[in-house]
Amino acid sequence: MIKSQCLDVKSLEDRAKVIRRHVVSMLAKAGSGHPGSSLSTVDLLVALFYSKLRHNPQQPAWPDRDRFVLSKGHACPALYAVLAENGYFGVDKLDTLRQFGSILQGHPSMKITPGIEISGGSLGQGLSVGLGIALAAKLDKKDYRTYVMLGDGELAEGQVWEAAMAASHYKADNLCAIIDQNGLQIDGFIHEIMSSYPIPDKWRGFGWHVIEINGHDCKAILTAYDEAEKIKGKPTVIVAKTIKGKGVSFMENQVDWHGKAPSMEEAERALAELK
């Protein structure tokens, strides 16, 4: 059985800087992509893959692995960087992001990229798929867990709430949703476009166990993952308050960086901040 490396908080913070540097570099080379949404997810992904998730990079389809579903598929550069650093494929592949013939497409593909559980792109679908995986585990009497990451803008999709209601009804306590609450989507602030606030109260109303954290505090993230694993009889959602573009001062909390890649000059500035 293969498990995460269980890195301590300082080591996770160091790994997060490495992942953020990869994200900036690969997007600058690609000339397109989503830096803001990718950078806000990094600490949550690093803590999960390095200290919680049960997985095997040498055997991505290992039947007893925990599953991670990236419902907000446009944030895949961060996931690709984490997968590469964990050994699912060579780190050199990151430079091929969005290139013709690359295994790293602009949105994740389960058919060509090791470590990707579902193909993403159309928002709102990940929680439904994750619930199906979680229920299959129960039917097969398997103990693996399923984690699904959603964006807060994605919560405007009605399918999310159908899945939330079904997960509670079927007592899917092996399912953990992670909300990347960075407050912004492609058109602007969430509260101006289609407010889903108060997010924690809505999930409580659907029968979920709710944990609220700072999504950039690795210690708080690890504590939340541990708590979610102990909850029985209902699914858990971690509402993680994050900052879009986290780690790069001129990208932080700026909607313009939702789907605009940095120029090479901007990338150099960003990388200097991430040393």
pLDDT(1) > 50: no
Residue 134 lies in a domain: yes
Residue 226 lies in a domain: yes
Residue 16 lies in a domain: yes
Residues 25/62, Cβ–Cβ less than 8 Å: no
**For 41-53, how does the pLDDT look when each residue is reduced to its tens digit (9 = 90+)?**
999 999 999 999 9
Residues 36/254, Cβ–Cβ less than 8 Å: yes
Task: Domain count for the chain, please give it.
Answer: 1
Residues 134/171, Cβ–Cβ less than 8 Å: no
Alpha-carbon distances, residue 195 vs 127, 184, 190, 200 (angstroms): 19, 11, 5, 13
Q: Which helix (H) or strand (E) holds 214?
A: strand 209-214
Residue 2 lies in a domain: no
**For 236-273, how does the pLDDT look when each residue is reduced to its tens digit (9 = 90+)?**
999 999 999 999 999 999 999 999 999 999 999 999 99
Domain CATH number, residue 36: 3.40.50.970
Residue 4 lies in a domain: no
Residue 97 lies in a domain: yes
Residue 39 lies in a domain: yes
Residue 198 lies in a domain: yes
Residues 271/24, Cβ–Cβ less than 8 Å: yes
Q: Which of 168, 126, 133, 170 is nearest to 148 (CA)?
A: 126
Q: By residue range, what is the domain housing residue 61?
A: 9-273
